[in-house]
Amino acid sequence: MKPQVIIRADASATIGWGHVSRTLALGAMLQPTFQVSLFSKDLPEGLARWAQQYDITHRAITTEEEFVESLQPGVAVIMDGYHFTQADQERVRAKGTFLVMLDDIPRQDLSADVVLNTAPGITPADYPQYAAEQLWLGPEYALLHPPYFLPRPTPYKGTEFPTRWVICFGGSDQLDLTATFMEWLYPQPEVASIVAIVGGSYQQYPALVERGARLGEKVTVHQGLSGSEMASQFQSAEAAIVSASSLVFEALASGPLVLAGHYVPNQRRLYEGFAAQEAIIPLGAIPDLQPIDFSVLLSQLREPAFRQKHLTHARHSLDGKSATRLLEGIGRVLNRSRT
């Protein structure tokens, strides 16, 4: 019988899809070796389909007490969410489990056996209460869905201004940034296609479809794509506009030029890390971005040397070995806990 790994994460229009999406990616990495289950209070239909696709069992709960009572000693628990307090974490560990906490702020109220933070530039100094072996830090531990480990059929070489674009700001996009960038990008004469992707929690889908139809044939709008469908869109694109969330890892793994910005606090460190590496073309704080700022950036993007610089750095930002590291890490700590 496979050892158990239990994921605890939630998703909704309010908190977004990112916590569950990236833990499902981690679950898919572990699934060949471990029996993975997901416990959640809220799980949109699109994410439930991903869990089923990865053979990850989903169990709906109503309280944290219900979750804690279900735990057995010796299992690995992966928790992802800012609403999980230090007391919540301690109750999980008190059941004899091994706890991995996903973080990206970084938080100082953690009580885990291991902290996993995939942002570039994060160091052990950000978690002074932990020993180095308790910290899995940086893009070396990137959480990617299975399709992103496959090679792109025809890599974009950057010799020409990108003509095929993808825009995605996650499952809910409460600021409607997808519509904003669709409007800004459409008038560019070199742009041949724009694929706008929103999640099942996005509340303005009919209006976005109507806006896309008004703009013209080169705009396509999708909602609730599967993980493999998302990967196909990113891998077909020559440029992607995304938030500095799990989406930035997916875009970087797929090979287009990546334009990324931040609009909530937990995206800041991830944004700053990849911007410092020049792996992304930085949009800054997206709510503050003006049309003229975007026009200036597109002018820079018309310079071949600018495109090549960012493509080169982007393709060195991920090494494709994170699944191996995470499998070995979970296996090592569980073996240690049994001895």
The 3 state secondary structure assigned to 35-51 is: EEEEEECCCCHHHHHHH
Judged by phi (left if over 0) then psi (alpha if -120 to 50, else beta), residue 236 lies in alpha
- Number of H helices and E strands in the chain, helices first, is 12, 13
Q: What is the mean pLDDT of residues 153-180?
A: 92
Positive/negative CA dihedral, 101, 105, 110, 113: positive
d(CA 95, CA 52): 27
The mean pLDDT value of the chain amounts to 93
Per the structure block, which two tokens stand in for 138?
Answer: 């940086």
pLDDT over threshold 90, residue 167: yes
Residue 45: per-residue pLDDT: 84
173/201: higher pLDDT: 173
Calculate the alpha carbon distances from 75 to 78, 86, 299 in Å: 10, 19, 53
Can you tell me which residue has the tokens 């709906």?
Answer: 60
What does the DSSP 8-state code read for residue 317? Answer: S
Q: What is the mean pLDDT of residues 276-291?
A: 97
Type of residue at 37: S
Give the tens place of pLDDT for each residue, 24-48. Answer: 999 999 998 999 999 999 888 888 9
Give the rounded percent of residues in the chain with a pLDDT score beyond 70.
Answer: 99
Given a contact cutoff of 8 angstroms between Cβ atoms, the answer to whether 47 and 11 are in contact is yes
For 310, other C-beta atoms within 10 Å of its C-beta total 22
Return all residues near 81 (Cβ < 8 A) that are at least 6 apart.
Answer: 8, 9, 10, 15, 19
Residue 199: per-residue pLDDT: 86
Query: What size, in residues, is the chain?
Result: 339
Residue 16's SS3 state is strand
Residue 16: per-residue pLDDT: 81
Return all residues near 205 (Cβ < 8 A) that are at least 6 apart.
Answer: 198, 221, 223
Residue 241: Cβ-neighbour burial (10 angstroms; 0-12, 13-18, 19+) = buried
Given a contact cutoff of 8 angstroms between Cβ atoms, the answer to whether 98 and 113 are in contact is yes
pLDDT over threshold 80, residue 59: yes
Give the rounded percent of residues in the chain with a pLDDT score beyond 90.
Answer: 83
Give the tens place of pLDDT for each residue, 126-164. Answer: 999 999 999 999 999 999 999 998 877 788 999 999 999
Phi, psi of 291 (to 5 degrees): -55, -40
pLDDT over threshold 80, residue 171: no
Given a contact cutoff of 8 angstroms between Cβ atoms, the answer to whether 38 and 9 are in contact is yes
- Exposure pattern of 148-183 as b/e (b: 16+ CB <10 Å)? beeeeeeebebeebbebbbbbbbbbbbebbbbbbbe
- Tell me how far the alpha carbon of residue 201 is from its chain's centroid: 16
Given a contact cutoff of 8 angstroms between Cβ atoms, the answer to whether 216 and 186 are in contact is yes
Give the tens place of pLDDT for each residue, 322-338. Answer: 999 999 999 988 887 65
Residue 201: per-residue pLDDT: 81
| Res. 273 pLDDT band, cuts 50 70 90 | very high
Residue 339: per-residue pLDDT: 53
Instruction: List domains and CATH numbers for the chain.
Output: 4-144+320-338 (3.40.50.11190), 147-314 (3.40.50.2000)
What does the DSSP 8-state code read for residue 193? Answer: E
